Amino acid sequence: MENEFLKNRLNITRRHFFGQAAAGIGGLALGSLLVPDLFKGGESSQAMPLGLAHFAPKAKRVIYLCQNGAPSQYESFDHKPLLNKMAGTDLPESIRGGQRLTGMTASQDKFPLVGSFYGFKQYGKSGAFVSDLFPHIGSIADDLCIIRTMNTDAINHDPALTFLQTGAQVGNRPSMGAWMSYGLGSENKNLPAFCVLLSRGRGNGQGVYSKLWTNGFLDSTHQGVVFSSSEDPILYLNDVEGIDKAGRRRMLDQLAELNHEGFQENKDPEVEAKVQQYEMAYRMQTAVPELTDLSKEPDYIVKMYGPECLVPGTYAANVLLARKLSESGVRFVQIYHQGWDSHGNLPKEMAMQAQDVDRSSAALITDLKQRGLLDETLVIWGGEFGRTNYCQGQYTLDNYGRDHHPRAYSIFMAGGGVKPGTVYGETDEFGYNVIKDPVHIHDFHATVQHLMGINHEQLTYKHLGRRYRLTDVAGNVLPGLIA
């Protein structure tokens, strides 16, 4: 009888698949999620069926360390000594070139340039400049591909983050992780394909919003699942007190029989799919807590990520958890760390933020490398836009703020087929404009999808008459970023 269920499910899946026409690989991945055991390689295999990549992927998984609020490029990866020399003088209009201003600095009559409060050093064979706030990240510069020419269309947090995550500033489109889940499916049948981890630093913060990890018009199966640091790592995961594991098993066995009984009457093949979902939930109840338990991590790991990694809910703990999830086959782990919005008190706030993320971010890359996983795991670190080279508010020698700047900013990537030991792109002496190798958000998306084996023009989903994709109608894969 089970086979009859599956045949019918298969029919529906197939229709779904071809209903989406060009979205072939998505249909496949979707099918596999709906029928988790259908393509299982055998009882012992933990691997979920995989979607079909368009071509050989370099990366299988992504860990995205999103620095929410926009860290300043001038105090991190874009070294501009000219700003220190010219500190206090006005940004030349020729450089600003009509760039629009946010409502926060639009009323300023002066735009005094301000240099980094922190020094820079060159690291590794690549000689990349990294600020003194990020010594650990600097120490692995030869593993990194630093991009100094990211640019975006939006100038405020909400639209910019939404653009960064979904490829559109407005419109409830699916986020990057949802597209990956849709296109490639899950590698682990006990875990969601797309997981989200949240933390907050000590700097000026902006909130996060669930639309950043939304499935948009895709099935809600592709929605990012938020892991929390509370007792329930996934919502409603733990059985309540008074129901133990054996009790839950008894319930599920009886439930399957009852549903089977119902099927005799209604003959609806969806019933079996339902039973399967309960079984997957049950497996998650064991698999997830085992995974999220960081207390058994060996000493060398704790040393590497820093003692904070044992404090649930911190950035360090989330980064370590991200590695474990990724290692277990989660396709896309998305971290958001808040607190980078330094409109004022930048030197102090940025130092605190850097202290929270520097060690563990670098540890993740080293850790993955040691495990032989860096080649197949793409790590991304960065925010939604950059900050201005001029001061917002009162400028003093040791205190200043920076407003939002969309035209040029820095991020880095590592592993997963990106070119290591690279510094990509150049900005002008003021760091204000891109002068060589711009990387627009659409290009960034196209390249990340390319690394995952996806042709960004082909992974589409037809919704209300139109074929949508992460890169909307633009985006170029940038070979200069690829190893």
Which positions from 236 through 275 interact with another protein, judged by CB under 8 A?
A: 236-244, 247-248, 250-251, 254-255, 257-259, 261-262, 265-271, 273-275
Q: Does 17 bind another protein (CB under 8 A)?
A: yes
Nearer to another protein, 259 or 399 (CB): 259
Site string for another protein, 71-100 (x = CB under 8 A): -----------------------------x
Near another protein by CB under 8 A, which window of 41-49, 73-81, 353-361, 427-435?
41-49
Nearer to another protein, 200 or 407 (CB): 200
Q: Does 322 bind another protein (CB under 8 A)?
A: no
**Single-letter code of the amino acid located at 465:** G
Task: Give SS3 for 378.
Answer: strand
Q: Does 10 bind another protein (CB under 8 A)?
A: yes
Q: For the CA atoms of the chain, what is the radius of gyration?
A: 24
Q: Would you say 284 and 36 are in contact if contact means Cβ atoms under 8 Å apart?
A: no
Q: Which of 20, 34, 335, 440 binds another protein (CB under 8 A)?
A: 34
* 144-151 vs 409-414, strand pairing mode: antiparallel
Nearer to another protein, 75 or 341 (CB): 341
For the chain, first and last CA: distance in Å?
50
Q: Would you say 143 and 416 are in contact if contact means Cβ atoms under 8 Å apart?
A: no
CB of 93 to another protein, least distance (A): 19
Nearer to another protein, 22 or 351 (CB): 22
Q: Which of 157, 323, 359, 387 binds another protein (CB under 8 A)?
A: 157
**Which residues 6+ apart lie within 8 Å of 300 measured at CB?**
none
Distances from the Cα of 448 to the Cα of 52, 183, 199, 387, 467, angstroms: 16, 13, 24, 24, 20
- 101 CB-side CA count, 13 A: 19
Residue 66: which of 439, 408, 322 has the closest Cα?
A: 322
Q: Which of 200, 402, 405, 445 binds another protein (CB under 8 A)?
A: 200
Site for another protein in 412-471 (CB under 8 A): 453, 457-458, 462, 464-466
CB of 483 to another protein, least distance (A): 16
Residue 195 has phi, psi (to 5 degrees) of -120, 150
Nearer to another protein, 12 or 82 (CB): 12
For residue 188, what are its two tokens?
């682990």
Nearer to another protein, 118 or 282 (CB): 282
